[in-house]
Amino acid sequence: MIVGVMGAMPEEIDPLLKRLENVRKHEVADNTYYTALYGSLDLVVAYSKIGKVFSALTAATMIERFGVRKMLFSGVAGAIHPDLGIGDLVAATKLCQHDLDITAFGHPYGYVPEGKVYLEADPHLLGIADEVARTKGVKLRHGIVATGDQFVADPRRKEWIGRTFQADALEMEGAAVAVVCDAMDVPFFILRAISDAADMDAGFDFDTFLHTSSAKSADFIFSMLDVLDQAQ
């Protein structure tokens, strides 16, 4: 099975690459893709660069060029739900685009004609995540993740996103990956570790907790890969 593992930044995939052997690099479409064998799984790993356009391009390349048939995303996010703290893990059950707005034409926020406001993650992969969480004794929250091409550091914007989309966390790539995977019929799973509260000063909190939260997310993803490997 060919499995894709994505991040948005180098810090989000470095913990993954450090645990793989005989990694090969491929330069495609102005980005670097890494391939390696992990047990019986053929892995394709890449960081897309930040934002919806780059993440959609990377996801589509992994599927079309490398033949990825399951997509996992590992990274960090800002918390919206007040119960979420630094380092907490959120598995996206649904994803939406909080900055997509054609309400002037009578549509709800996040919707485009022939599209969807919410895209749902693969139930089987969510089930594997729950199994991993139980085995590791880790708390895993299921929730709605909102995506937009904005690093949100405004409490009023954060409150609006939470209220409008019932979102628990927000980031800048997940829904774009979901759109691509949904269109190409590739099961996907988006995992985010909380790195900031989405209304703090980005300079201190994000830089401080990016590495630890990325490592926690990557470790969880590796445990999911172990389950997929054993099921082969």
Domain ranges of the chain: 2-231
pLDDT at 211 (0 to 100): 76
Q: What is the pTM of this model?
A: 0.94
Question: Which residues of the chain fall short of a pLDDT of 70?
Answer: 198-208
pLDDT at 212 (0 to 100): 83
Residue 6's DSSP bridge partners are: 46, 73
HSE, side-chain direction, 13 A CA sphere, residue 109: 16
Q: CA-to-CA distance for 134 and 137, rounded, in angstroms?
A: 5
Annotated catalytic residue within 11, 88, 168, 196: 196
pLDDT at 108 (0 to 100): 96
Q: What is the CATH number of domain 2-231?
A: 3.40.50.1580
Assess whether 12 carries a catalytic annotation.
Answer: yes
Annotated catalytic residue within 11, 12, 168, 182: 12
Assess whether 149 carries a catalytic annotation.
Answer: no
- Name the token pair of 44: 């394709």
From its phi and psi, is residue 49 left (phi > 0), alpha (psi between -120 and 50) or beta? left
